[in-house]
Amino acid sequence: MDGKDLVQVVVDLPLPGTFSYLTQSPVMGGARVCVPFGNRRVCGVVVAPIPGEGVSQIDAAKLRCIETVLDGLPPLPEEFLALVDFAAGYYHHPLGPTLFTALPTGLREPRDVRRVDQRPFALTAAGLAEAPPARQRARLALWQALQDGPLRLEQAKAVTPQAGKLLADWLAEDKAERITPERPPLVLGEAPALNAEQRAALDALCSSQGFQPWLLHGVTGSGKTEVYLQLIAGHLAARRQVLVLVPEINLTPQLINRFLERFPGSRIVVQHSHLAEGERMHGWLDAWHGDADVVIGTRLSVFTPLPRLGLIVVDEEHDGSFKQQDGLRYHARDLAVWRARRAGISIVLGSATPCLETVANVEAGRYRKLVLSQRAHGAARLPDVRLVDTRRRQLVEGLAEGVVEALKTRLARREMSLVFINRRGFAPVVACTACGWTSGCPHCSAKLVVHLLERKLRCHHCGWEEPVPRACPDCGDPDIKPLGEGTQRLEAALQRMLPEARVLRIDRDTTSRKDAWDEVYRKVNGGEVDILVGTQMLAKGHDFGTLSLVTVLGADGGLYSADFRASERLFSQLMQVAGRAGRAEAPGEVLVQTQWPDHPLYQALVAHDFDGYAASLLAERRQAGFPPSVFQALLRADSPELAQATAFLKQARALLEPLAEGVLISGPAPALMARLAQRERAQLVLEAVQRGALHRLLSQLQPLLDPLARQHGRSLRWSLDVDPQEL
Ligand code: ADP
Ligand code: ZN
Ligand code: ZN
């Protein structure tokens, strides 16, 4: 091929495999390139050939040349490529789309990017030796200014507007150079003295060597963040970089302020999807070039290259937002653990309510646990949790009298309350109010979901269907109904019953605007709010200062749900919202309205017994054969017609069954959210006790399913979800 090299390139298009291109001169792996593709020009990245993903047909006559090597930046670092490679393999997602998902959008375009070099200029010995002639006034002025010491470009431009051109010439002639200024020593803001538990945790973390995942299990307000900050200080003093993953963009402002106060001279880079494109990219580039000390960000920041990485912190590690729910369905916490292993460093997973996967990893000895059992601040205590039995009380529009009274008391005392309405996220199960019977599947350990319109109960695990019974099959009571009904009108009822209260509602809609949270905090801190009303969003780690009462409505819907994770999630959410109550002078109070006050979940909540309840949930999962005791993947399909999605999955199952050694395949069954954006969704559940067995099957999937999907035409889409968080 007339002395030209052949390289493999992945492109920014939703296509699997690599593509062969010719180059005039050798191009390094990781280089960004601009390549012709069809009648377009797209951005590509040069990679090693991938075994199994196939190489586009090499027909020498048809091979095309790389158009440009985008060399304003060095090739993407090996660390980044290795992580992307792992993610593509683990999630069985094509390498190209994985790689481009991991890049900031600014680097996905086929144009060159240059990093603004901020380093100051200084004269070299050669430059110093040769004074410009007096008639070149600008040149001489700049030369004289540089005699006094290095200048940054803006400073040089203040001497003469021609500085840019002059300095570029001098750099080329070796008369000037860029110098890296001495970094000032680390400056630390004021920090409180740690309590004994925090001290013990910090000591353990500081003496940790090599790869080690740690669970920092601390009750809400126990000072986990303070432990991170003091741990991070040590890494920054040693000039190492730190990656901090947080669940929500909304949480970052509070946290970033704490970081800025603690590390005033350090460069802290923020990474999340709401940043302006240029800002995100420049932060990413600074991190990659070692100029950022701390990267704080949401799940996508797990891909940020950090050459001096010394520590990873995942705050609120149980949070569902670490899992991406479309495209590359990665879990940032899990990728972060992989990254820590590869870098041979510690990773700290912090939570008041760690997820069961993490608890199981601690039990198995893979992760080490540190406990903070007390609130850190002054005399702050955990709140008193009380259950309000709604079976024996008069309800007015769904609200128990005791709850309304408690709200009125706080209102009179001018204290702020929070009303948590558990509304979304649980598929309804039918239950008998007389004996407690709930609808279980006769064929597997899942709960049946009620579909009221069709009057059907349906299993979303194995696909079983039956009619909704007219009366309880156990005791004959006709009063059976879906759990968690009736939360819709609670909010309106509140306003009617407490018309003088200033109510602030917090949900996806009211907080989607960019600065909505600033507004929430301003109102809350300014004493403009009596009652905060909200749904799941309030269960996140927000700090609203002095809440003395938290009331929980509609929680029962999560007790018996078709999603086996529902009780874990509900428990975690309730512990988290309960954690919003309480302050130094008086313990907070939490009131939970329920028809099932004896349920172990509520009993554990009253006793603040996370460990006990988590252990019982884990035992249940093991018995039922659910994760984390097995590994799952979902093969999802969606189409405008449910029949088509189901037919595709049936055929897929027939193809996979003979290969499924050590893997149990169930379904097709409709997804819990069966209809989304005008499309019907169904799935197969693939489960295995051995992770390896599952992945062996998954790696054979694509070549079998692509041709099958093509027979169904464009209306059918399929995708794979490894370690799914939602059924
Ligand atoms: P968490 O991250 O566990 O929710 P934080 O680190 O935010 O807890 O701490 C909760 C509150 O207690 C914060 O106001 C923090 O400043 C304070 N705090 C943390 N540690 C201490 C300590 N050792 N002494 C006094 N106050 C502390
Ligand atoms: Zn019954
Ligand atoms: Zn079933």
Task: Report how far ligand 3's centroid is from the alpha carbon of 667 (Å).
Answer: 9
Choose among 32, 29, 20, 18: nearest CA to 108: 32
Phi, psi of 465 (to 5 degrees): -135, 145
Q: What is the pLDDT of residue 1?
A: 45
CA atoms of 250 and 254, how far apart (whole Å): 8
Which structure tokens are listed for 213?
């995942």
Question: Which ligand has the minimum distance to the alpha carbon of residue 438?
Answer: 2
3-state SS record for 434-497: CCCCECECCCCCCEEEEECCCCEEEECCCCCEEECCCCCCCCCCCCEEECCCCCCCHHHHHHHH
Cβ of 224 less than 6 Å from ligand 1: yes
Q: Is 435 annotated as a binding residue?
A: yes
Q: What is the pLDDT of residue 509?
A: 63
Tell me which DSSP letter residue 182 carries: P
CA atoms of 121 and 128, how far apart (whole Å): 13
Cβ of 351 less than 6 Å from ligand 1: no
Report the nearest atom of ligand 1 relative to the CA of 222.
3
Q: How far from the centroid of its chain's Cα atoms is residue 470's Cα?
A: 43
Q: Is 475 left (phi over 0), alpha (psi -120 to 50) or beta?
A: alpha
Task: Report how far ligand 3's centroid is from the alpha carbon of 355 (Å).
Answer: 25
Cβ of 226 less than 6 Å from ligand 1: yes
Question: Which ligand has the minimum distance to the alpha carbon of residue 472?
Answer: 2
Q: What is the pLDDT of residue 586?
A: 66
Cβ of 258 less than 6 Å from ligand 1: no
Cβ of 542 less than 6 Å from ligand 1: no
Cβ of 192 less than 6 Å from ligand 1: yes
H/E stretch holding 416: strand 416-421
Cβ of 220 less than 6 Å from ligand 1: yes
Q: Is 432 annotated as a binding residue?
A: yes
Q: What is the pLDDT of residue 496?
A: 85
Phi, psi of 668 (to 5 degrees): -70, 150
Q: How far is CA 620 from CA 567, 608, 614, 626, 627, in A?
A: 11, 20, 10, 8, 10
Cβ of 222 less than 6 Å from ligand 1: yes
Cβ of 348 less than 6 Å from ligand 1: no
Task: Report how far ligand 2's centroid is from the alpha carbon of 434 (Å).
Answer: 5
Residue 535 near residue 507 (C-beta atoms within 8 A): yes
Flag residues of the chain having pLDDT under 50.
1, 53-54, 425, 486
Q: What is the pLDDT of residue 148?
A: 86
Phi, psi of 143 (to 5 degrees): -60, -40
Task: Report how far ligand 1's centroid is from the alpha carbon of 210 (Å).
Answer: 28
Task: Report how far ligand 3's centroid is from the alpha carbon of 448 (Å).
Answer: 7
> Strand, coil or helix: what is 373?
coil
Residue nearest to atom 26 of ligand 1 (CA): 377
Task: Among 262, 317, 370, 377, say which to mutate for ligand 1: greatest number of ligand atoms within 8 Å of CB.
Answer: 377
Task: Among 190, 225, 542, say which to mutate for ligand 1: greatest number of ligand atoms within 8 Å of CB.
Answer: 225
Residue nearest to atom 9 of ligand 1 (CA): 223
Q: Is 34 annotated as a binding residue?
A: no
Residue nearest to atom 20 of ligand 1 (CA): 223
Q: Is 43 annotated as a binding residue?
A: no
Residue nearest to atom 5 of ligand 1 (CA): 223
Sheet with 456-459: list strands edge to edge: 448-451, 456-459, 465-467
Rg of the chain, C-alpha, whole Å: 29
Question: Which ligand has the minimum distance to the alpha carbon of residue 458?
Answer: 3
Residue nearest to atom 14 of ligand 1 (CA): 377
Cβ of 230 less than 6 Å from ligand 1: no
Residue nearest to atom 19 of ligand 1 (CA): 223
Q: Is 206 annotated as a binding residue?
A: no
The interface predicted TM-score of the complex, written ipTM, equals: 0.95
Q: Is 459 annotated as a binding residue?
A: yes
Q: How far is CA 274 from CA 247, 305, 684, 693, in A?
A: 14, 20, 34, 39
CA atoms of 374 and 382, how far apart (whole Å): 8
Q: Which residues of 56-67 are buried (b: 16+ CB within 10 A; e: fewer)?
A: eeeeeeebeebe
pLDDT tens, 117-156? 778 899 999 998 888 998 999 999 999 999 888 898 888 9
